[in-house]
Amino acid sequence: MRLFGLIGHPVIHSFSKKIFDEKFESENITDCRYELFDLETVRDVAPLRANPELRGLNVTVPFKQSLIPYLDEVTEEAKIIGAVNCVKITDGKWIGHNTDIYGFEKSLTPLVNPANTKALILGSGGSSLAVQYVLNKLAIPFKVVSRKANPVFLKYFEISKSVMNVRHLIINTTPVGMFPNISELPAIPFHLLGPEHLVFDLIYNPDETLLLKNAAFIGCRIKNGLEMLQLQAEKSWEIWNE
């Protein structure tokens, strides 16, 4: 039996197991199973290395960056980004990949138009790094908003009218608003949003976060992260079976 799974903390919100369970059933794949591994710290990944059935892992917050030292190898793309969200395991060797890039680019590209040529990225973690990589690839200038101390980042209180007037693509890469904390939302000035804005929230549970609900009420175009997750799952399966 080949075992695959998701590591992170928490993972109760994840749809990954549902996606793969449905795939295995619909395609009559009987020699595979997918499990959720809720790890308190990244160090807790060590016992998984002793499981001979384990063939691949997806990685979610907060381990996309901190897992890298525990891997045997990292693809060049994931190395450039500094984050992994997929691990292929072959003969005990753990190789880190990043499928956030593929999922985000495929999900975003059909929505981009000349009005969305500058972006504001909320958050600076592992998902943000993949988003930054894709926006650079698509030649979309961006600013990162973060609570972390970094002279390059904007603080949330610095999101002014002049910023919002020219940055019409807003991408939330933080877990703020994710189940079960559905009453939370990023501290952005909603009164500065309008129909010219596209708000993309990488969260998919709930399917419409409070961020997206507020943005839709104002008249913004909105997009959640479910399609991105599904695309990532397809890419992970491809990597695991290469």
Please say whether the beta carbons of 97 and 88 come within 8 A.
Answer: yes
At residue 13, the 3 state secondary structure works out as coil
Nearest 10 degrees: Cα torsion 204, 154, 82, 38:
-40
Cis omega before residue 47 (within 30°)?
Answer: no
Catalytic residue among 17, 18, 64, 213: 64
CA end-to-end distance (rounded Å), the chain: 18
Distances from the Cα of 57 to the Cα of 65, 86, 122, angstroms: 14, 6, 26
The neighbouring-strand residues paired with 170 are 120, 199
Q: Which residues 6+ apart lie within 8 Å of 140 measured at CB?
A: 112, 116, 117, 118, 119, 169
Enumerate the β-bridge partners of residue 4: 34, 56
Q: DSSP state, 53?
A: T
Q: CB 22: neighbour CB atoms within 10 A?
A: 11
Q: Is 155 a catalytic residue?
A: no
Distance CA 66, CA 89 (A): 18
Q: Give the residue numbers marked as catalytic.
A: 64
